[in-house]
Amino acid sequence: MVTATLRPSTVLVNETVILHNVAHALARLDAGTELFAVVKADAYGHGLLRVARVAEKAGATGFCVAVLDEALALRQAHFTQPILVLGLIEPQYAPVAAANHISVPVASAAWLEAALPLLTSEKLPPLAIHLAIDTGMGRIGFQTIAQMQDALAVIGKQPECFDVAGIFTHFSTADEKDTAYFEMQARRFNAFTAALPKRPRYVHVSNSATSLWHAACNGNMIRFGVAMYGLNPSGHAIPEVPYALEPALSLVSQIVFCKQVHQGDAISYGATYRASGDEFIGTVPMGYADGWLRRMQGFHVLIDGQFCEIVGRVCMDQFMVRMPKAYPAGTPVVLVGQSGDQSISLQDVADYSDTIHYEIACSLAARLPRQSVAPIE
């Protein structure tokens, strides 16, 4: 997708805030516990390489991504730290991962058997693998100790091809107050690790939520994701956090057109909004193709420190707002962030959209340019 740099709609990313969020997390870790920065999905919409550079500066010792292509992008940008792909890759790409020193998860003996002949056919370093354990997330991973042992038996046939670098699981309720299911998953994971003939370098279970509220489970590495961007993993469920989470992302635009409409005049597709009297309507050059979704009708933006309602349906590339007075073209519009004494958070947008802030951040399209504010040295 073409990035629209000649349009005033922009995602602003505060690098100093990301640096501080990582520093706060590192300060709470036990000695010997590492932090891998989770930069998947273009760093949750904040920009992959930008966030990786800031996280490295803050003290992150590795990275987690979702797909192999993201890991390769980091390698191509000369990041040398350990990288773990969190999603399963096709066995045919195992040589690519090995050649680039990228760790991948393994969830079945069958995957290892399929990858093995490809790894032996070339002169490659051992493929670093992390054993994925399904303790209750129901996504990927070994469900029984016997399944894990079958996989270890495959590795034992040609141990020079594989390096068992880690073992991990993912908690499905770490961001909820009721800890019963979390504790069950923790017990299951402990049983798997106890069954290993040798403890690998990385034993990890902690995403952002676990690191915030269940730090005793951290193992020797945390996967620091949404909290790095200053967002509470639980939304509103657990408002208490051990340190202040500073949101790093703002979303801004400008008024490009202002007009006065009169009682009964309709706005946008379907004529779903009609003016109740004389009103000033401003047009903002952003729409659902940018990730500002159609369901945002009826929400608000900030103009001159005042909340202004989005009226009519959000279009693909534009939407309209009702303003208290006529504002000229070029007037700043804040969709996420602060204007005067008022603010709109990603959580506010998510609440209105009946979703989570992760989805809002990740939905912001590549057409929106990302610009650093408060850049680090």
Give binding residues for substrate as ranges.
139, 316
Amino acid present at 105 = P
The rounded distance, in Å, linking the Cα atoms of 321 and 248 is 25
Q: What is the DSSP letter of 110?
A: H
Give CA torsion, residues 285, 288, 291, 296, to 10 deg. Answer: 90
SS3 148: helix
Long-range CB pairs of 175-179, under 8 A, 24+ apart, other chains included: 175/209, 175/213, 175/233, 175/234, 175/235, 175/237, 175/238, 176/234, 176/237, 176/238, 177/237, 177/238, 179/214
Distances (CA, A) of 215 to 1, 132, 150, 309: 40, 20, 31, 42
> If 0-12 CB within 10 Å is exposed, 13-18 middle and 19+ buried, where does residue 271 land?
exposed
Give CA torsion, residues 15, 18, 20, 23, to 10 deg. Answer: -130
Q: Which run of H or E residues covers position 258?
A: strand 257-261
- What is the set of active-site residues? 40, 269
**Residue 81 has which token pair?**
């730290």
The rounded distance, in Å, linking the Cα atoms of 61 and 78 is 14
Give CA torsion, residues 174, 176, 181, 186, to 10 deg. Answer: 20
**Residue 118 has which token pair?**
């490809």
> If 0-12 CB within 10 Å is exposed, 13-18 middle and 19+ buried, where does residue 157 land?
exposed
